[in-house]
Structure formats: C-alpha cells, structure tokens
Amino acid sequence: MRIRVSHRTVYRYDKPLSRVIQTLRLTPRPHDGQHVVRWRIDVSEDCRLEAQDDAFGNVTHAFSADGPVSHLEVLVEGEVETQDTDGIVRGAIERFPPSLYLRETPLTVADPPIRQFARDAVAGREGEIAVLHALLGAVHEAVVFDTDPTHVTTTASEAFGLRRGVCQDLAHVFIAGARSLGIPSRYVGGYLHRSDGVVAQEAGHAWVESWVPELGWVAFDPAHSISATEAYVRVAIGLDYLGAAPVRGTRFGGIGETLEVEVQVDQAFHQVQS
Amino acid sequence: MTVCFDEMKGEDGNLRATYEGLDAWLRDLSPDVLDQRCQEAEFLFRRIGITFNVYGEADATERLIPFDVIPRIIAADEWKRLERGLTQRVKAINLYLKDIYGRREILRKGLIPEDLVFQNQVFRPEMNGQKVPHDIYIHIAGIDIVRVAADTFYVLEDNVRTPSGVSYMLENREIMMRLFPDLFSRYRVAPVENYPDELLATLRSVAPDTAAAEPNVVLLSPGIYNSAYFEHSFLADKLGIELVEGRDLMVKGGVVSMRTTEGPKRVDVIYRRVDDDFLDPLSFRPDSTLGVPGLMSAYHAGNVTLANAVGTGIADDKAIYSYMPEIVKFYLGEEPILQNVPTWRCREPDHLAYVLEHLPELVVKEVHGSGGYGMLIGPMADKGKLAAFRTRIEADPKNYIAQPTLALSTCPTWVDRGVAPRHIDLRPFVLTGSDTVRIVPGGLTRVALQRGSLVVNSSQGGGTKDTWVLDV
C-alpha cells in the first residue's frame, strides 16, 4: 500500500511567545515492509532543523526560534510504501536487547489491578503469541476508546482505572500488562490508514510492539485488537509515549495558545509511467 | 560488639604515632577552653551560613551540621595507598561507563547480569552510543571509605552522580586553622585549600574540542531550595565561575549559551548539580523547570561537557557496587587496591537464604536508596523491625543487598565535655580531567555523634571533622 501522510500542527498565540524550542520525532525510517518514498518537515519560522538519531534509533529534529512568534506551524508531508508482514517488524534499527523493554516507566507502571487483569486475561494460554493475543483482546475490550477523560500525561494505571482512553492509553495499559508478564514491550507512534475511508484524523496513531523470541518484534494495536498491517506507518519507538512523542517542546512567553492538529492519511495511487 | 579499630589507639589501646601530638595537645587543654572553642566554631559556621536542608523536616529547613573540633589524622603512607586505590577505582569506573554505553563488553562476557543494567532506572538509554568529551564520565567522584582495621579500608559507596560535601572539607579546615593554630604547629598537614583550583583545572581540561581556548565553565544549580545550595554558591564563588539556574541558559543551534548583560555567551562546560531526571524537559521529566530545554541535543552534538556525565548512576547503584572488584580487574587487569565490603545480593537465591538466616547480624540496604534511608541495621533492630524487614526482602529480594555490620573505626570526638570514641568514615574527592587525576589530600570525615551509632549521614544526625593528611 502506498500511504500519503500530511500532518499539520498550528500553534497560535494571543500574546506572542518570546522563544520556542522543540524536538520532533516525526520522520519514519525504513524497515522490512516499509519503504519511505519521500518525506519532509517544514517549520514556518526561519530556523535550522538539526537532525539527530536518538538512543532508540528514531530520527529527531530539533529547532528553536526566537520571538515574537504568534503563529507557528509544523508541517510534515510524505509518502510511504508498505507491505503486510503479519505484524512482524524486521530490519529496523535495534540499539538495545529486548530485555531493556521490560523497564517500567512512570507512565507504564503495572499497578496491582493491571497485574491482576493481565494474569486473568492470559490464564491458560501458552506461548507468547497466544498470551499476547489474549492480552490484546482483553485490553481492547476493557478500555473503551474515548478521547475525553485522558490527556498526554495520563498513566496506564489512571486510564485502566477509568476503563477509558485513547490509543496512547490503550498502548500504555497493554505495555504495562505485557511487561508484568515478563514480555518485553514498547510503544510505537505513527500513522494509520483507516480502512473505512476516513482520511482526516485528529492525531497520529499509537500501538505496541512485543518481543516474541521465535519471531522477533511483533506489532499489536490494542485500539483495534489486531496485529499491525500494511495500513500502519511506523515512525518512532520508545519505552512509553514520552520516548516516542511526536513533539516535545518548551515555550517561553506566549499567552492564549490555541492548537490545531490536522492529520490526513490517504492512499496514494501510483502514477502510470509511460 | 566486636572491638573497633581506634584511629588514635589502634586495636590494642596503644597510642599510635600519628596521634601523639594530638594526644599531648588534648591533655594540655582544659575542657573549658575546648568548650569555648566549640562555641566559637559554631558561631563561625553560622556566620558563613553553612547549613543544609533535611528533606521531610518541615520545622527545620536549614540546620547546621555539627562540627567536631578534634581532627582525624591520616599518616602519609596510609594516604598514599588510599590515593592509589582511589585513582585505580575511578579509572575503572570511567572505562566501565564508556563500555556500558558503548560496546557492552562486560555484559557480553557475562560478568554483570544484563537485567541489572538494562532494567535499572539509573541506566539512561539516552546515553547509549553517545560519545562524551574526552571519554570521561566521572569528573568528580566522592568515594566513601571506612576503615575496619589498621590495614583494611573498604569502599562503602562510590558517589559518582552529583556528590556533595566538599564545601565542608574546605570550611572545616579554614575554621580549624583559625581556632587551633597551635595544634597545626605540631604537625605538617597537607593543604586542601587548592581544591577549587584543581577542580577548575579539571573542568577546563574536559571542555569539548569545539570550545574556545579559554573555555567558559558554569555551575548549574537547582536553586535555593536544594539541600546543597550553599555548597553550589560557595564553589561557584571559589572557582570564580558563574552560578546559574536552568532559566539562565538556553540552547540554540546545538550550542548552550548563558544570558548576560552583553548578550548570549557560549557555555562549554557545565558543572551540574542538577540530577539527570531534571536536566532537560525535552529528554527526561517533561515537568522539570530546573533544567535547560534542549540541553541533551547540545550534549549529543558534542558542543558541551556535562560534569558529571548523564547516566553515571549505573556505576554507583548499590546493585552494581558488588561487582566493582570484577570491574577493576576486567578493565585494568589489576587487583583492586581498595576492597569492597563483602556483599550479599538478595537477588541470588543462595545469598538470599543466607541473609534471611543471619538478618540480626547484617546491614540491609535498598539497592536504590541513599543517605541512610530505607536501611536495616540488624544488631540495632528489635524483633518487630526485623520481622517487617524480612517481609519486605522476601517480597522483593532484588531490591536489597546485605553486608556484615562493620566495626567502623572510631576517632576521639568531643562530646559532653569529654573526649570519647565515635565511629567515622571518609569521603575523599577524586577529580578526573583529560590530563590527569587529582586528589586533594583529605576529604570529608563524617562522624556518628551518638554513642555506638554507625550512621554517619548528615541527614541522620551525623557530624563532620577536619581531615588531616600528614605530609611526612
């Protein structure tokens, strides 16, 4: 599938900000089943984008701009060619052994209810794949998709307590549960081409990769209760949302921020070459 | 309890040569005079304002660390051995950190279990594969040493994150020289006053290659609410460098600069006393207001040196500590000059069994704790406390290590108008530059002021002493 992504973030301020600095994780890398055809990032302010790889191998871009800035726009556009790999991720950059991904982070603490939930969900299942599919179904069922009650700093424990959340929260609950079962798991941020034909989305997508010794890293999407398919564009990984966050930034000054995010994920059709 | 080695009288009660001068001086001095000097010392400390904060004590945000006027004296040959041992240990720790964040040979050889590193919160994935200027991670180390016999010194703890206490070393000496010039005339005491110069030389030597010929060094402090703020301002003043907080610095185009009245000025070396977690909200805790947004990107670009480096906690973590003899042998091919305290790792079943069986004799520590918190001293604990600790260990064995209760050496100390032995330790400060390793002779001697107490931490009621290393 050839997927076209356009991701526009616009910040507006009533009173302009004096300085802004951001780190972006918005650039996909190729791996088996994912070929980046073209990709670019544009920032409305006149500044240099400094590219660096982070410790997990994600591409990051850092920039800073001095104010007054009352309108800041970050535009990401690109095309990615994907193939279905049954959710198995091969050929990606791996900087750490799987055991690193057993680490708990503040956002993914497996509290006693999550531990209990995970144990119950996989009772009687044997082998990582069966266990992970059982957990996948259970998280999908237990935590209702709801954009209202949670925000970017909501922990797995809080979201699980509410039984509600967005893809980020479902991913955190899954990660906490899987790690509590001794299965290395990590957070994935990226884009999803929706099969229902809806192109405009409010945000990117998030899912999970878990380590299965005989297969390697396998991607699971608790928001849809499936393994990742060719409709998924994988952009960044981390121990949790913070490690893979599309944007981390600090602003100085600036009052009355309004944020507008437009994500469009569409299928791009091959042009006939003559 | 077992017999302790007394710094003054050894194990057998015979006056040691090093302490002859002190002994004679003490006998000449009337208790009234000494008492009066103690009051003068306290007055001087209050005037300098050398206080510290104890976390969790609302009524006493600032407290004076008790100072004992009787110095602890170390002979020249004893110090030489310590110095060699410290240099060796810190060299090995630097090589270990370079390896852990690089090729991970020590893990591949199986000398340290992988999970102890990767699942450890103080291992910073952000540092993986990142080169640090001059390959130096630990520029300033405060190695805690205890003595259990005439010739046996143990390293109790390697403090290689943001060790504090050096201001007490300097202040204690200054006050002792003012109060007791007569006692100094009986000894040839090696100076410690050059510590700020040595530290500055160290920090300058590790500036990144892209820095100017005269690198700009600053001290980054979390601010006045930090328990060691006094030390931060004291050191910045002694070094003649700017004392800054996060908001004074900014990162632009991969370079750190400092706001000044003449516009931004590039910063090359940051002696940071802010913990990893708070250093950069774009890389670590997003809610931190103490750090500098984007600092890690400048660090990764090689345009700034952080002293100490980020992620050094993976060297002084208590779980890693027990592997330090192997670390020294692996990287240097030498036998360790300074020994470790024998340590049982509760993560290993046979060690755990031993620990649970011998709990009343042991000191049990939380792997990630510090400052004497969350610790069990078996011989001092009642049945209830022992039982409670046993439950905690059994619930999470990985989180604990245990050590024999050490008979820490004692040193004569002025208490209740008399001289009595009290347990002590020693924290020398080891400076590693790109050119050389520097150790000012001495360090901070901490003393447990309560009779029989083995806890010397200032947060737990410990005091300090001036530490004399003799020149000959």
pLDDT digits (tens, 9 = 90+) for A1-20: 999 999 999 999 999 999 99
Fold of A84-243: C8orf32 fold (3.10.620)
B43 pLDDT above the threshold of 90: no
Give me the residue from A66, A102, A248 closest to B282, CB to CB: A248
Please, how many CA atoms are within 13 Å of residue B290, restricted to the half-sphere of its CB? Answer: 17
DSSP label at B192? -
B462: confidence class by pLDDT, cuts 50, 70, 90: confident
Write down the pLDDT at residue A95.
95
Write down the pLDDT at residue B369.
63
Write down the pLDDT at residue B65.
81
* Residue ranges covered by each domain of chain A: 2-80+247-267, 84-243
Q: Which two tokens stand for residue B255?
A: 């370079």
Rg of chain A in Å (alpha carbons): 19
**Is B125 close to A242, i.e. CB distance below 8 A?**
no
What architecture is domain A2-80+247-267? Answer: Sandwich (2.60)
What are B141's strand-pairing partners?
A: B430
Of all helices (H) and strands (E), which one includes residue B145? strand B140-149
Write down the pLDDT at residue B59.
46
Average confidence (pLDDT) over B43-71: 67
Chain B CB contacts of A22 under 8 Å are 282
- Which pTM does this prediction carry? 0.93
Could you tell me which chain A residue has the CA closest to the CA of B102? A95
Could you tell me which chain B residue has the CA closest to the CA of A54? B126
B374-405 burial code (b ≥16 CB/10 A, e <16): bbbbbeebeeeeeeebeebbeeebbbbbbbbb
Residue type (1 letter), B325? P
Chain B CB contacts of A97 under 8 Å are 114, 118
Looking at the predicted complex, does its ipTM rise above 0.90? yes
Chain B CB contacts of A64 under 8 Å are 250-253, 294
Chain B CB contacts of A248 under 8 Å are 281-283, 286
Average confidence (pLDDT) over B291-304: 96
**Is B118 close to A99, i.e. CB distance below 8 A?**
yes
Question: How far is A270 from chain B, CA to nearest CA, in Å?
Answer: 39
B444-448 vs B418-427, strand pairing mode: antiparallel
Please choose, from the candidates A124, A141, A137, A132, the residue with its C-alpha nearest in 3D space to the C-alpha of residue A182.
A132
Q: Which two tokens stand for residue A103?
A: 């680490």
B52 pLDDT above the threshold of 70: no
Chain B CB contacts of A60 under 8 Å are 297
Angle at A148 between CA A142 and CA A153, to 5 degrees: 85
Write down the pLDDT at residue A91.
96
DSSP label at B61? S
pLDDT in tens, A158-205: 999 999 999 999 999 999 999 999 999 999 999 999 989 899 998 999
Helix axes B229-239, B166-179, angle to 10 degrees: 70
Q: Is A253 within 8 Å of chain B by CB?
A: no
Residue type (1 letter), B35? D
Instruction: Report how far Cα B2 is from the mean position of its chain's Cα atoms.
Output: 27
Q: Which two tokens stand for residue B17?
A: 């040569």
Write down the pLDDT at residue B318.
85
Write down the pLDDT at residue B54.
46
Give me the residue from A19, A55, A62 closest to B126, CB to CB: A55
Chain B CB contacts of A247 under 8 Å are none
Domains belonging to chain B, first-starting first, are 17-208+304-341+406-469 (no CATH), 344-404 (3.30.1490.270)
A256: confidence class by pLDDT, cuts 50, 70, 90: very high
A67: confidence class by pLDDT, cuts 50, 70, 90: confident
Write down the pLDDT at residue A270.
54
Could you tell me which chain B residue has the CA closest to the CA of A61? B297
Question: How far is B289 from chain A, CA to nearest CA, in Å?
Answer: 10
Give me the residue from A97, A100, A250 closest to B282, CB to CB: A250
Write down the pLDDT at residue B51.
55
**Is B118 close to A56, i.e. CB distance below 8 A?**
no
pLDDT in tens, B123-150: 999 999 999 999 999 999 999 999 999 9
pLDDT in tens, B345-371: 999 999 999 999 999 999 999 887 655
The mean of the pLDDT values for chain A is 95
Q: Is A102 within 8 Å of chain B by CB?
A: yes
Q: What percent of chain A has pLDDT over 70?
A: 98
